[in-house]
Structure 1
Amino acid sequence: MSQAIVFVHLFNDCSGSPKVLAQVATALSGKGIRTEMLTSSWGDGPLRGIADTERTVFYRRSENRYITLFFDILSQLHLFFDCLRYLRVDAVFYINTMRPTGAMLAAKLMGKVVVCHIHETSIKPLLFKKLLRSVVSLCASKVVFVSDYLRKVEGFGVDDERVIYNAIAKSLKPKRDKQSAFGVLMACSLKTYKGIFEFLNVASALREDQCIQFTLVLNAEADEINEFFQDVEVLGNVRLLPRQTDMSSFYADASLVLNLSKPDEWVETFGLTLLEAFSFGVPVIAPEVGGPTEVVREGMDGYLMDSSRVAEIAEKIQEVAHDRSEWERLSLNAAKRADDFKLSVFDQRVTSLMSAKLRAL
């Protein structure tokens, strides 16, 4: 009987969850077990070129909710029947997010070990979320959460549930030669619940301050962005950019990174952009609920503020932008905080998670 770890993720884009799965797959490679990656051909994310074998699964998105639902049903059916090929393979299924239900059900039917890596909590509608949760509860042998907050609100009652914080590949020394302009960066999906309009409102509040410039990098194509903002006034102190395959230069040029997700619509369960900012010695402003509270130390490497407090956020940005010593203190602390999320620690925890199965194989 052949042996494999099968990684499953639906949409291979540049968001946080595929980045984390790429790190998991890298950590488990070279262990003497064949690795296989099942993901969509749609998307230009980080899941290519990691596993020994790659298989494409059907996945599409649409602005029409009914078409999206139809595509989702098709993708789950495709996943279910495609995964049945592993009936005679001694395989562990590593499922990323709650959504690949077809793979979970097929693995359960075949009697395989199922590990679910959970990143999300804000799934709508509620009935859909309940369906996803029921499949995870039925199929999962092990569950990994990206934060303790997520474990507490989404626990499934599985015997082996643990928290493995996301990690960054490396920490870089803070840049001390920041230009005269104070760069405020936010990178997020093209969704209103990510605080896009709050970001524009903060920029508008500081439009008279020539020293502060804003950059918004959206996980979308240029035509999608143009359509979204066609009736929205974007001031001259804001730069809008489409999806980027490498964000390094943006973090390197930033002085402050924002995460303005609206907690009443979308609770951040970790906030990988915060950690990426820390790796460049960039302080942050993030929501005061959810996973960011486990990453950001209030007043040390950033601030925890509700995105609805636009005036207060703008005031805090201006305060830090014009106090060089305060920015340097935050920056140094941010770089030190990044060391708490080293990739080596992540690799060790992922390997420990799979150790019993790895020994058996």
Structure 2
Amino acid sequence: MNKLVCFHLFNDYSGSPKVLRLVLGELAERGVNIDLVTSRGDGALSDLSQWPNVQISSYAYRFSDNPLITMGRYLWVQVYTFCLAWRYLFGRDTVFYINTILPVGPALAGRLMGKRVVYHYHENAFVKGAFYKLLARAMQALASEIVCVSAYQRSFLKREKNVFVVPNAVPRGFVERLCPNPEAAFERKRVLMLGSLKRYKGTLEFIELARRLNDFSFELVLNETPENIAAFWQDNKIENLKNLEVYPRRNDVVPFYNRASVVLNLTDKTQAIETFGLTALEALSAGLPVIVPTVGGIAELVDDGYNGYKIDVQELDRIADCIRKILSDKALYVCLSGNALNCSKRYDVRSMIEHIVACIEK
């Protein structure tokens, strides 16, 4: 492989660009020539330009509250990247690396040019709308190889050949800065959630838990701007709670894990299913028990009652009782914490990268 051309729709601090940053950083260290095409603005991919062998091309793209505007912007980006991709027509041994199923324009161009097209599939399109299902069908037709992030996600694909399951992992530098300390974490009595303002992510339910459990501290880190958070609070008439701190988008979340006791994921499985759950793995790597949904790739990370609990957001009373139990029984907490740390070691970053590199360099 002489060059890797990577396409990622939206550069932010969510899970898929974080994983992509990890993979591209490792390949850049190995001297691979990389062209990255993604959106303009601050995000997990922004610092890749530090490597002289990484070139970044960017375009204007952002979401809108109006779905028609968002779709229009998305389609414009597909046309733009489809055309941009043709600059690599005569590039010898060039591989197209498509991160998520959304960049279908450059994937189609790559296929028409006879390039190898490797998809890193982070979503589960089959529990979303018809548009995502269409993109998933396109992926299965266009891809030379598909990398899935969980067995759950893989089970929905009809394609049999050249489909691989490679679970995500947490960067070594991230893990090295975590400070697991079960006794201190138990005493902090602090509940953490990281997510977005999308309704199905459970923001309102997290706030309700903070209201009910006013003996504990709650921290909510949202992948949003302060302005969007303020508007959400106003639109939903949310009261300010003394035991709840809310933070806008952060490029470094290690300090939050280092002062947390329990980490929640409250994604509503009736509206969306987590195909992996990177924040849950980050929490386990910090020795923190987690509470996650009962289905999806994220559920594969948790052995119920061993390193955390699997409870759906519809059972908010059970989640509240579970938090009380975890943060009231020190022996239980220390046991869960130790198991969390041990389970996190199954997801080795070196193994993840080697498997992905093997798919890319075939």
Scaled by the length of structure 1, the TM-score of the pair is: 0.92
Q: Does the Cα contact within 8 Å between 2:21 and 2:44 map onto a contact in 1?
A: no
Matched, 1:6 2:5: yes
| CA offsets 1:100-135 (integer angstroms, 9 cap, x no match) | 011111101111100011111257872312321232
| CA offsets 1:152-206 (integer angstroms, 9 cap, x no match) | 02x1515200100000123445124337430100000111100111112222221
Q: Which amino acid aligns with 2:218?
A: F
Match of 2:233 among 229, 234, 241: 229
Partner of 1:359: none
Match of 1:106 among 109, 114, 123: 109
Partner of 1:65: 67
Give distance in 1, aligned partners of 2:291 and 2:253.
18
Counterparts of 1:1-361 in structure 2, within 5 Å, are 3-49=2-48, 52-90=54-92, 91-121=94-124, 126-153=129-156, 155-157=157-159, 159-170=161-172, 171=175, 172-175=178-181, 176-178=183-185, 180-207=187-214, 209=215, 212-230=216-234, 231-356=237-362
Q: Does the Cα contact within 8 Å between 1:133 and 1:156 map onto a contact in 2?
A: no
Q: Does the Cα contact within 8 Å between 1:166 and 1:341 map onto a contact in 2?
A: yes
- CA deviation after TM superposition for structure 1 residue 47, in Å: 4.5
Q: Does the Cα contact within 8 Å between 2:149 and 2:276 map onto a contact in 1?
A: yes
Q: Does the Cα contact within 8 Å between 2:25 and 2:48 map onto a contact in 1?
A: no
Give distance in 2, aligned partners of 1:156 and 1:88.
33
- CA deviation after TM superposition for structure 1 residue 352, in Å: 2.3
Give distance in 1, aligned partners of 2:111 and 2:319.
48
Point out where structure 2 has 5 or more consecutive residues left out of the alignment: none
- CA deviation after TM superposition for structure 1 residue 299, in Å: 0.9
Q: Percent identity?
A: 38
- CA deviation after TM superposition for structure 1 residue 234, in Å: 3.7
179-188 or 107-116, which moves further after superposition? Answer: 179-188
SS in 2 for 1:229: helix
| RMSD of aligned Cα (Å) | 1.8
Give distance in 2, aligned partners of 1:298 and 1:195.
20
- CA deviation after TM superposition for structure 1 residue 67, in Å: 1.1
Point out where structure 1 has 5 or more consecutive residues left out of the alignment: 357-361
177-186 or 268-277, which moves further after superposition? Answer: 177-186
Give distance in 2, aligned partners of 1:287 and 1:124.
15
Q: Which amino acid aligns with 2:71?
A: L
| CA offsets 1:224-278 (integer angstroms, 9 cap, x no match) | 0000011222422211111111000000000000000000001011100000011
Q: Does the Cα contact within 8 Å between 2:100 and 2:122 map onto a contact in 1?
A: yes
Give distance in 2, aligned partners of 1:226 and 1:123.
33
Give distance in 1, aligned partners of 2:119 and 2:338.
35
Give distance in 2, aligned partners of 1:242 and 1:30.
31
- CA deviation after TM superposition for structure 1 residue 30, in Å: 4.2
- CA deviation after TM superposition for structure 1 residue 322, in Å: 1.3
